[in-house]
Structure 1
Amino acid sequence: TSFATIGIMWLNHHRIFTHIKRTDNTLLILNLLLLLVIVFIPFPTALLAQYLAQYTAHPNEHVAVAVYNGTFLLMAIFFNLIWRYAAYNNRLLDKRADPEGVHAISKQFRFGPLLYVILFGLGWISVPASIAMSLLLAVFFALPVRTSRPLPEV
């Protein structure tokens, strides 16, 4: 699971950096903070798996899913910070970046933190529902952003 999750993050990171062509210290720091969250992902994944492997309800499974969803909330926040910082007034974007593609990424990313907050709360009500929704979100973020025009060739 960690491999698939990190793979999806890699895809999204690559997708946004096809538009980002310049960098500065702030972007580098935000990118390092995202990396910090990414390298932490195997821990909450293993923690959640430990509780789910028991096949019976465990009083701390809600805490395990909260740590798991909280990690993804942080990841979504840092992805948004990187993208919004770079895209603000095309600060660090390629001069040829497709405005429609930039808007599509902004639109898709806008919902990530909110959805992970909802999952965080749902985990305290129903661990299975929270995990199922988390898997659906992973599929959603794994799909390429929909635009009517392809990215320009470099």
Structure 2
Amino acid sequence: MSTQPPKNSANFKLDRLGALSDGVIAIAITILVLGIQVPSPHKIPESKLVDYLYNSIDPMIGFVVSFVLIGTYWLEQFMIFHFLTHTTRMFIALNGVFLLFLSFLPFPTGLQAAYRNDELAMAFYGFANLLCSLSLLWIWLYASKDRQLIQPKIPQETVNRMTKRLIVPPLFSLLAIGCSFISISLSRLVFLAIPIYHFSYYVADPGVHPVSESESSA
């Protein structure tokens, strides 16, 4: 069975969409580090540098956590794109929603670093991650519905496992939002469970990997 998309003006190649996504995600990751400010020696003398670094631990942790989360979202989007044969206007729009939420993530990252002991700031950060993970699930569900955009040789079991893997992160985000009103430190640990879950899934279940280009063109 051919994997080429039908010749229809509503079908588009993935190259430019992938390039746009990579560019937006790279900029979002770069903006994260701006939340970690380098002190001026006129305001923070050497005698107070240790205290300043100690007080900067939370912003640094927030940077690392968000960096890893954005990297995880990129990896999952990369996997989705690797399953596809082509794209449509609707998929482009849904991918744009995902990029909108992801590019917004540096703001709640900086907010929860500035208000490090505020439950609302952490809950808002969790809500932003919830939107990222839900929009990522949305684009996969659209692409895999009736196999309208994905490679026909991919087993249904693999499609189901991919769906299952993308359903779990929104649940983690909801759990982290709830934990933020109990313990902010616990909430941060829950967020770290998202990338751990994804990477452990690769190790424990290699069947989720898409077929290779040589297999799909056979």
TM-score relative to the length of structure 1: 0.85
User: Aligned ranges for residues 5-154 of structure 1 at < 5 Å?
Assistant: 5-52=69-116, 58=117, 61-143=118-200, 145=202, 146-148=205-207, 151-154=210-213
RMSD, matched Cα: 1.8
Displacement of 1:97 in angstroms is 2.0
Residues paired across the two proteins, number: 147
- Structure-2 separation of matches of 1:28 and 1:149: 24
**Does the Cα contact within 8 Å between 1:98 and 1:152 map onto a contact in 2?**
no
In structure 1, give the amino acid aligned to 2:150. Answer: L
Unmatched 5+ stretches in structure 1: 53-57
Deviation by residue 1:36-61 (Cα, 9 ceiling, x = unmatched): 01111111111112233xxxxx4xx1
What is the alpha-carbon distance in structure 1 between the residues aligned to residue 209 and residue 188 of structure 2?
Answer: 33
CA 1:32 to 1:150, structure 2 compared with 1: closer, same or farther past 3 Å? closer
How far does residue 111 in structure 1 lie from its aligned partner after superposition? Answer: 2.1
Query: More deviation in 96-105 or 77-86?
Result: 96-105
| Runs of at least 5 residues in structure 2 that lack an aligned partner in the other structure | 1-63, 214-218
8 Å Cα contact 2:172/2:190 also seen in 1: no
- Look up the equivalent residue of 1:70 and give its one-letter code: F
- Name the SS for the 1:111 alignment partner: helix
Q: Alpha-carbon deviations, 1:55-75, whole Å to 9, x = none? A: xxx4xx101101110001001
| Corresponding residue of 1:55 | none
- How many Å apart are 1:88 and its aligned residue? 1.0
Worse-matched range after superposition: 106-115 or 23-32 = 106-115
Residues 143 and 13 (structure 1), Cα distance of their counterparts in 2 relative to 1, 3 Å cut: farther
Seen in structure 2, the aligned counterparts of structure 1 residues 42 and 29 have a Cα distance that, compared at 3 Å, is same
The structure whose RCO (Cα within 8 Å, separation 6+) is larger is 1
Greater C-alpha Rg = 2
Q: TM-score, normalised by structure 2?
A: 0.62
Separation in 1, partners of 2:96, 2:193: 27
The one-letter amino acid paired with 2:83 is: H
Identity %: 28
TM-fit CA distance, 1:144: 5.1
Letter in 1 for 2:145: Y
1:150 deviates by 5.1
Query: Secondary structure at the residue paired with 2:210?
Result: coil
Q: Does the 8 Å contact 1:19/1:93 carry over to 2?
A: yes
CA shift, 1:79, in A, is 0.8
